[in-house]
Amino acid sequence: MGGLKRKSSSKTLGKAKQRKGPHLPSSILKAINEKRPLNSDEEDDELDSDDENGGDVYEYEDGVPEEESRRNNRYDRVDNYEYELPEDFKVFFQHTRMLQDVSGLPAEVFKGEGKSERRKLYTEAYPESEFNPTRDVLEGKDSVTFEELLAPLEGKPGYNELRKSFSRMRKNTQSVVHAPLPKPERERLDRKSVRGQVDKEFDKWVPLVKRNREAPTVYFDKDVNLGYSTVGAIASEFKPRTKFEMNMASVLGGNEVLEAHRNDGVSMEDHIKDHNRIAKTRSLLFRHEIKSKRMKKIKSKTYHRLKNKDLRLAGESLMDPELAKEEAMKQEIRRVEERMTLKHKNTSKWAKRMRSRGLDMRYDETRAALSEQLQKHADLSRKVNSMNDGSSSDESDDEEELNDASDQDTPAKLLAKAKEKTLKIVEDDEVPNSGLLSLPFMARAMKKKQEEANEEAKRLVEEYEEWENPDGAENPKNSVNVIGRRSFGETAIVEAPKESKKEANNFYDNSDSDNDMDGIEDNDVVAVRDNASPARNTGTITETEIDDVAGNSAPKTTFDVALFASGSWKKMTGCKNAESKKASKTHVPISQAQDKKESRDEESEDSESEAEQMVDGILTSASKETFEIPSQAELINRAFAGDDVVDEFEKEKQKVLNEEVPEPEKPVQVPGWGQWTNIQNKRGLPSWMVREHEDAKKKREQALKTRKDARLKHVIISEKVHKKAEKLHTTTLPFPFTSKEAFENSMRMPIGPEFNPSTVVGDLNRPEVVKKTGVIIKPVKFEEVNPNDKADDEHPRSHQKQRPKKSKKVGRGQSKVKSK
Amino acid sequence: MEVNTEDNNVMEKVLLPDEQEIDVELEAKEKKYLRGEGANLELLKDKKLKSQLASREKIYGKSAKYAAKIEKWLLPASAGYLETEGLEKTWRVKQTDIAKEVDILSSRKQYDIVLPDLGPYKVDFTASGRHMLAGGRKGHLALVDMMNMKLIREIQVGETVRDVAFLQDEDLFAAAQKKYAYIYKSNGAEAHCLKESGPVTRLRYLKNHFLLASVNKIGQLRFQDTTNGSMEASIRTGKGRTDVMEVNPYNNVVALGHSGGTVTMWTPKMQAPLFQMRCHPGPVSSVAFHPNGHLMATSGKERKIKIWDLRKYEEIQTIHGFHAKTLSFSQKGLLAAGTGSFVQVLGDSSSGSSHNYSRYMNHSMVKGYQIEKLMFRPYEDVLGIGHSMGWSSILIPGSGEPNFDSWVANPFETLKQKREKQIHSLLDKLPPETVMLDPSKIGAMRPARRKEKPTRGEIEAEKELAIEAAKSTELKNKTKGRNKPSKRTRKKKELVESAKRSFPAQEHSAASKKRRIGEEEAAELPASLKRFARKK
């Protein structure tokens, strides 16, 4: 463009010169040009080139700047004169002088040369001919027309053709292609039109983008169709394509094959029935499996014991003889094994150790385990045919006899036998003289065991005797009989509390008084209500601790709170309370003494002791004695306690203020400085120091005035920064917010499920983008959006919208185009 | 538009007066649930933010409306009340009169338990009101299930018991004993002995923070974390011994009443009180907080009860002629004051924000009973009274919140729910620093500190002022040689320079210097390494 301009300027150098001087406004010039015939003279072309609106299409010209065009009279022309005249004059004078010198004519002759008389002779370099046409000819002005040239040829052969071709040409010339616009102009026009188009294109997206930007949540869940979901679906779509596939299809899907299938003998109904049956059995099997799994999971021993028992019983009743035989064989093998190994006869290392240490005697569990093993042994080593027998004697030798007995004898006889046996056992207690068992501790243990066994045996014998001579009703006896075996258990139960009691006693003896209540509370209610145990407790407590209330507290008061519900208005406690009252009365002197002691010990505890005196009020006779009228000094103290409270508070406030807003330090000079002479001393501190001090004072006062408690005399509000809590506040506003109010107001509502109905919690906590896994996010599609509609939450899933980010990109592109 | 208004008119006509009333009521409730106004969106410039906030507000509005509707229609119970006709006065109504009117279940809630020997009793209820703990001065601790009036456990600690408090629920409770405070399990077993805090006079528990606040004989306030046993704070109040301590239920700030008539407010993480108020000319005998946290009632030995607005630090009301040894606010805002053997219940007769407490009910115990502690039972219209002869319970209609929120406290809690809640509350435990006067400010912008450092702009302005001042100083006329114009200008320049120098160079200049140095260094680098130099 620049180059072009330069060219044009070099071409029309003269013109530029002319333009510089004062000239008519271009509008007038234009009018003149229109009036003047275009093809008048050679000099016209200069004028032509002068006016831009003449439309010389070959030459590009910038639009005349406004100040030059003078369409409006904003620009002072005089300025231009002033500015341009000197140069113009200079040029003019130079030129005229030169002409003067050359021609020798006076200057007046040449004066009007540039403007009024512009006639110049234009001499051609060559004679005018068809090879060297004049400019007029070239420009088609005032030139020979085709018609003129054709006229002489009229009537001659070929004329018509010539005319036709001429007219055709003419037609073509009428739609002549104009010379193209200069490139920049063309480009600008292009851009203009393109921009209009693009703007239109983008503007249509604006509502959509806006909606996406403003939507609280963008959803990508419309295109959830991920294709085939099953293999069957894929298979159903299959169509044979290759030759091989075709062949296969024809073979498989051929009529003959289908026919053969049909005639296979298996009808569809049969097939379905079969299928159903199989399915049913399968499901049954499955259920059974599940059930057995579940049963297997059960860990309860009782359950398994019962289950096994059931199974065994069922097996016995149901099993066919062969199986029973087999089972019997198995049992026999087990029995033999057991008899050979004596595995369950407490021969194991552990059992031996337990027995040798006498632990089985001490611990119930160990004993139970040992006896269980023995039981097992008995079970295993029992003869098969005696399985139904209820007896559980250990020795297999005796078993036979017993069995015999059980077969024949009556229960009475059986009992007699048993009694005899036990007595025998009781009687023969021989201690081995050698070996491990002869060791003293072993002997002791054995003895102990023996004693126990004896006791047991005696009890048994007693029982036997009872059974032997039954008196009274038989039914209770029977019931006893039924649980006869359990007599062991009962004894154990009887013994257990004894032991625990012993332990508890030990516990009391050893324990500190602090935690003594623990043990008591753990005992049964019965034990607590038992008068003996509290008595014991009181003993321990009073012995171990010297306390102000120990004496009174000792008797335990229990209140049957359940009685409250009966609706009676007031209820005194029962006899126990009375007892405790008595106790308290008896203890009163002690407690008082202790009280006094305590008050002497701790002088600061005056209010406490006072409260204690007030405790029982007027009702209780004991407390009447304890209540004392406060001394005169105390009364006075109390009366004047709050005398100078106000003053104290003032002082306190002053202190706090001084601490929080410290007073400025008094100006002090460096020692020895400014104290040379008396005058210096008299003058006092330098003025700047004093001023500074006063400023600081003023500042402090200002600070005090702005405090919250400045006007509240009765309040001191600390303005210390709660440093630990500072981390609970934000220092800067989070991103989109620009004002504190907006942020804090947006924070005011809780969004958790505890505070909001479930219908709203989802909306409150939905993420910005909701997308299902596997969904492909496609570029945003155009859709019509009513710009006046607000982003609705009610139909959020109706469209797949684009992520706001992407839409932002679109927006940016748009702006780029606009900026160009 | 016209059509719309017409429609509206029609709608208004259709609405019955009752419905209008309901609408008004619902609106009021909605406002309550909206928890204040939304931000003014018109002022926002960011369109995106504006639209987002607008949609948010819409959802909030929906939520509030829903909550209001639930409150209006679905809550099962309504609050109790005492209505009088004609010349009857509510405070003339006696417990016996009430007992005649109420149902059997409620009438069972009136009773006296007489335990004459073990001293004045302190009482405490769990948050759900299901369980009560009574601590006799002479060592008797009793844990009672109030629902079926079953004594769960009672123990005799054999020491003075000064105060009792439940911890998170009835599983654990604390007792301030002669030397130390102890924590017991509900079965009476001693779980902990809190030796660090010394002889404690008052115990209170901060439920949301799992802190056990205690003040001891020498006036030390201690906060002990009950989850890990750590001592969160040990504060010397410096105001001497006190046995008046209460926790503000709204913000968990602990208030202490002192013998000098002041009430001080404390948080675990500050050694100084948040504020102190001179409430009474004599010793403060008790303090109580309204459940909304804005009102505080104090009573002094000079026979006055005062009600304070804690937001304005102002006294709103003084009730003369009544020395309350103990004060207690109910959930619905009734104030009970007890002294000697007389209980007075004050009710807020005015509606709205202004408060005017006047007498609502009276109750006198048997003469000679000394009331030790009053406490309203949560979610029941019951006032528990611990006194020298045991404890009593009377009916105060309209004192308790009628509907419990099982998220907050559930009197009918099953074992499973209880366990779940224990875990949840442990997970939701708040750190001790969240105790502050206005807990709603948590998460908001940090309050502006008192300015310690002036901002850059201020420094600049000050500097300019100083320079101007230096320029406009009129120099004295000096002796002949020194009064030359050149000297004067030089002097002036010096003044200006010194004025400039008195302001330290700004930080950004230092930073730019650094950067320049970096560039210089880069220039010195060999050509191959130059590309690693920091670029602008």
Interface of B with A in 60-89 (CB under 8 A): 60, 62-63, 66-67, 70
Is B83 part of a structural domain of the chain? no
Mean pLDDT (chain A) is 67
Contacts of B444 in chain A (CB under 8 A): 729-730, 743-744, 747
Q: What does R_g of chain A's alpha carbons equal in angstroms? A: 64
Contacts of A549 in chain B (CB under 8 A): 119, 138-139, 158-160
Kindly report the nearest CA distance between residue B526 and chain A, in angstroms: 41
The answer to whether the Cβ–Cβ distance between B39 and A745 falls below 8 Å is: yes
CA nearest to A662, candidates B503, B239, B452: B452
Residues B376 and B475 reside in one and the same domain = no
The answer to whether the Cβ–Cβ distance between B149 and A719 falls below 8 Å is: no
Residues B194-206 have pLDDT tens digits of 999 899 999 999 9
Q: Name which of B39, B139, B151 is nearest A553 (Cβ-Cβ).
A: B139
Q: Is the pLDDT of residue A544 over 50?
A: no
Is B440 part of a structural domain of the chain? no
Query: What is the strand order of the sheet A570-571 is part of?
Result: A570-571, B111-114, B390-395, B382-387, B371-377
Residues B338 and B477 reside in one and the same domain = no
CB atoms within 10 A of CB B176: 27
Is B497 part of a structural domain of the chain? yes
Write down the ipTM of this complex. 0.80
pLDDT tier at A314, thresholds 50, 70, 90: confident
CA nearest to B530, candidates A623, A294, B521, A197: B521
Q: Is the pLDDT of residue A463 over 70?
A: yes
Which residues contact residue A781 at a Cβ distance below 8 angstroms, ignoring those fewer than 6 apart?
A800
Cα–Cα dist B281/B211, whole Å: 32
- CATH number, position B352: 2.130.10.10
CB atoms within 10 A of CB B199: 20
- Which pLDDT value is given to residue A543? 38
Residues B182 and B53 reside in one and the same domain = no
Q: Is the pLDDT of residue A150 over 70?
A: yes
- Which pLDDT value is given to residue A681? 76
- Tell me how far apart the 2 most distant CA atoms of chain B are, in Å: 113
Contacts of B217 in chain A (CB under 8 A): 604-605
Residues A713-764 have pLDDT tens digits of 899 999 888 888 889 999 889 988 888 888 988 888 899 888 898 889 999 9
Residues B55 and B132 reside in one and the same domain = no
Residues B215 and B110 reside in one and the same domain = yes
CA nearest to B118, candidates A603, A623, A519, A560: A623
CA nearest to A41, candidates A121, A112, A116, A127: A121
Whether residue A477 contacts residue A470, with contact meaning beta carbons closer than 8 Å, is answered with: yes
Interface of B with A in 93-112 (CB under 8 A): 104, 107-108, 110-112
Cα–Cα dist A616/B372, whole Å: 12
The answer to whether the Cβ–Cβ distance between A736 and B279 falls below 8 Å is: no
Residues B362 and B464 reside in one and the same domain = no
Cα–Cα dist B250/B256, whole Å: 16
Residues B163 and B311 reside in one and the same domain = yes
Contacts of B51 in chain A (CB under 8 A): 213-214, 791
Whether residue B216 contacts residue B198, with contact meaning beta carbons closer than 8 Å, is answered with: yes
B154 at A interface, C-beta within 8 A: yes
Kindly report the nearest CA distance between residue B157 and chain A, in angstroms: 7
**Distances in whole angstroms, Cα of residue A202 to Cα of each of A188, A205, B186, B343:** 20, 5, 74, 79
Residues A613-644 have pLDDT tens digits of 444 433 333 334 456 677 777 776 666 555 67
Cα–Cα dist A208/A272, whole Å: 57
CB atoms within 10 A of CB B362: 16
3-state secondary structure A571-621: ECCCHHHHHHHHHHHHHHHHHHHHHHHHHHHCHHHHHHHHHHHHCCCCCCH
Helix (H, G, I), strand (E, B) or coil at A257: helix
Is B339 part of a structural domain of the chain? yes
Residues B392 and B478 reside in one and the same domain = no
The answer to whether the Cβ–Cβ distance between B443 and A730 falls below 8 Å is: yes
Contacts of B48 in chain A (CB under 8 A): 213-214, 736
Residues A590-619 have pLDDT tens digits of 444 444 444 444 444 444 444 344 444 333
Whether residue A627 contacts residue A612, with contact meaning beta carbons closer than 8 Å, is answered with: no
Residue with the bigger pLDDT between A514 and B459: it is B459
Q: Please compute the mean of the pLDDT values over residues A775-786 and round it to a whole number.
A: 83
Q: Is the pLDDT of residue A586 over 50?
A: no
Interface of B with A in 505-524 (CB under 8 A): none
Cα–Cα dist A667/A673, whole Å: 13
B283 at A interface, C-beta within 8 A: yes
Is B445 part of a structural domain of the chain? no
**Distances in whole angstroms, Cα of residue A338 to Cα of each of A298, A335, A398:** 29, 5, 17
Residues B376 and B504 reside in one and the same domain = no
Residues B123 and B181 reside in one and the same domain = yes
Whether residue B92 contacts residue B363, with contact meaning beta carbons closer than 8 Å, is answered with: no
- Domain span at residue B277 reads 90-401
Residues B507 and B395 reside in one and the same domain = no
The answer to whether the Cβ–Cβ distance between A513 and B158 falls below 8 Å is: yes
Is B435 part of a structural domain of the chain? no
The answer to whether the Cβ–Cβ distance between A557 and B115 falls below 8 Å is: yes
> Which letter, b or e, does each residue of B316-329 get, where b requires 16 or more Cβ atoms within 10 Å of its Cβ?
ebebeeebbbbbbb
Residues in chain B with pLDDT < 70? Answer: 1-17, 351-353, 449-454, 505-520, 522, 534-536
Structure tokens that stand for B37 in this block: 């106004």
Q: Please compute the mean of the pLDDT values over residues A327-345 and round it to a whole number.
A: 84
Kindly report the nearest CA distance between residue A496 and chain B, in angstroms: 24
Percent share of chain A, pLDDT over 90: 10
Whether residue B187 contacts residue A520, with contact meaning beta carbons closer than 8 Å, is answered with: no
Residues B276 and B374 reside in one and the same domain = yes
Least confident of A335-349, A668-682, B357-371: A668-682
* A209, closest residue in chain B (CA to CA): B48
Is B95 part of a structural domain of the chain? yes
Angle at A8 between CA A4 and CA A9, to 5 degrees: 115
The answer to whether the Cβ–Cβ distance between B137 and A611 falls below 8 Å is: yes
Count how many domains chain B has.
3
State the amino acid at position B182 in one-letter form.
Answer: Y
Best probe of the B interface among A582, A607, A615, A747, by most B CBs < 10 A, is A615
Is B158 part of a structural domain of the chain? yes
Angle at A231 between CA A225 and CA A234, to 5 degrees: 65
Whether residue A581 contacts residue B117, with contact meaning beta carbons closer than 8 Å, is answered with: yes
